[in-house]
Amino acid sequence: MRRRPVGSADEVLIRGLFAEHGAALMAYAARLTGDRAAGESVVRETLRRAWSDPQSTAGAGPARTHLFAVVRRVLAERRGEAADAGLVVDSTAVLGAVRTLPPEQREALHAVFFQGRDVASTAAELGVSEAAVTARVSSALRRLRDALGGSPVPLVKGAAR
């Protein structure tokens, strides 16, 4: 972001936008986040974006409409980042718990859930009965649930067949 001199036309534009739309943006962001402090953070980011690219606000239709759209975009990005962080934490916990499984349970779980293979082909590959594969996967899922403190196991790839 390039530095602008104090009193520049861009600064005047941003101050004017805040004076005219700041209260509405704050109310909107606080309602969407459910938290005034989080709403303030979203509005600061919205105005920072307007400051770094003032042309995006000028001439892009009504300024208020554009700023509200930026608020929604900032929130969507933050929610995506939070979801990604949650997935990383979940994945790390699951992988750690999977490493503690006995090898035969780990092999069956990997084939059925992570490779998306059906029970019959997994049984043929491992040289055991379909009932044995089903029992190994069930035992593995119980152990994982217990290792994760009773939380559901967030395995989404493939499905047990």
Note the pTM of the prediction, 2 decimals: 0.45
Output the pLDDT for position 126: 95
Residue 77 CB coordination number (10 Å): 11
Residue 94 CB coordination number (10 Å): 17
Check pLDDT > 60 for residue 2: no
Alpha carbon distance, N-terminus to C-terminus of the chain: 53
For residues 131 and 151, the model is more confident at 131
Check pLDDT > 80 for residue 136: yes
All structural domains of the chain with their residue ranges? 9-83, 100-147
Output the pLDDT for position 86: 64
Identify the three-state secondary structure at position 149: coil
Contact of 47 with 1, CB cutoff 8 Å = no
Output the pLDDT for position 113: 83
Reported as a single tens digit per residue, the pLDDT across 19-68 is: 888 899 999 999 988 888 988 999 988 888 877 765 555 554 577 788 88
Q: What's domain 100-147's architecture? A: Orthogonal Bundle (1.10)
